[in-house]
A and B are shown apart, each in its own frame.
Chain A
Amino acid sequence: MSYQPTVSQLIHLADNALILGHRLSEWCGHGPALEQDIALSNIALDYVGAARNWYQLAANQINSLQDKAAFPLNAQGEATEDTLAYLRDAFDFKNFLLLELPNGDWAVTTLRLLLSASYQQLLLQQLSTNEHADVAAIAAKSLKEVTYHVRWSEDWVKRLGDGTDESHQRLQAAYHELWPYIGEFWENKLALPIDIASMQAQWLAKINQVFEASHLPQGVLPTWHQTGGTEGIHTEHLGYILAEMQFLQRAYPNAEW
């Protein structure tokens, strides 16, 4: 029987892209140098674009359901990418907790991107050969973007780790802050059609290769980790993201400009 992605799986993929994209977009106009400002804004837009694709696919599935009223619908009674992004509350979001954490400093921002993009790269590699044509097509498109995100963030993590005393300390602090959140990658609670065991081994090898060049100790998968994002149990940070992101749609429903 051929694979059909569930609505939850698609929304999870979309939420991951949207929330990280929104976080990165917060750097727009605040980057440490003009060139890095543009780089991060480009990356943020890649994620928002990927989110749109996944939301559209999710909306198509929802609209073919009998009980689509369980999801936010527009005035025409249809689910769209916009209703899914703007009209759901925090407990409906299924993104990893790691992605909603505040940007922190440059070390937190770049290390978070490395941890996430390295996972995304492996995930999208597997999804890009999926038998579902739309899933494979979206994954293949996003994969090219994410490959660059890995390269860009990897370079920065190495620069910080191998840079000044302060940059190294900041990277070290970022590692301690973020590492407890990586366990969610490997839960696969939504049962995506992927080989988690091989992904985990490849991911850890990749990250430790970067850590070695950054003079960080080798990372070991944590025995305990923060969890809940894919089930809608979030940190307090997500609510603030949504408050900012959804304000216009909530205050002026169906506003157009």
Chain B
Amino acid sequence: MNTTIRILRYGDYDAMQKAGSNIPATNSSNHATSTAPEWPLWEVFVRSKQGLDHKHVGSLHAADAAMAIENARDVYTRRQEGVSIWVVESKYIHASNPDEADSFYEPASDKVYRHPTFYDLPEAIKHM
């Protein structure tokens, strides 16, 4: 039986994909990284200490919410960055369209009276 061995070099994959060439399937049983891209993407929000709000810190891949939280713990809080983690699957985040930035955000730029900067705040009030 004749077997053709094709050696793939860096960059070949992309070129073959564009040319519609048949890319040899990777054997998933001994090539574990092939499972990773199938995991959905999650956005991670970390609260750095009590009383502050959760901030977006990045994204990661995970099979489900439980794994996403563990992965977030391992990837984003290993230097004491947080005390609480939220994760949400990226597909559930709906974003404004950058093309509409003019109509969305420009109108606010000349309406300075919307800022509460004309009030005198007591010294005791912080975080305003």
Contact = CB atoms under 8 A, between A and B. Distances in A.
A156 B73 CA distance: 16
Q: Most chain-A CB neighbours within 10 Å: which of B63, B70, B74, B75? A: B74
B61 A35 contact: yes
A148 B69 CA distance: 12
Contact of A33 (B35, B73, B78): B35
Judged by DSSP, the binding face of B is helix
A155 B66 contact: yes
A148 B73 CA distance: 10
Contact of B32 (A32, A148, A159): A32
Nearest to B67: A155
Contacts of B63: 159
A77 B71 CA distance: 45
Interface residues of B, number: 18
Given A155-B66, A166-B29, A39 B35 contact: no
A148 B70 CA distance: 9
Interface residues of A, number: 15
B70 A39 contact: yes
Contact of B62 (A35, A38, A152, A166): A35
Contacts of B75: 34-35, 38-39
Interface of B: 29, 32-33, 35-36, 39, 60-63, 66-67, 70-71, 73-75, 78
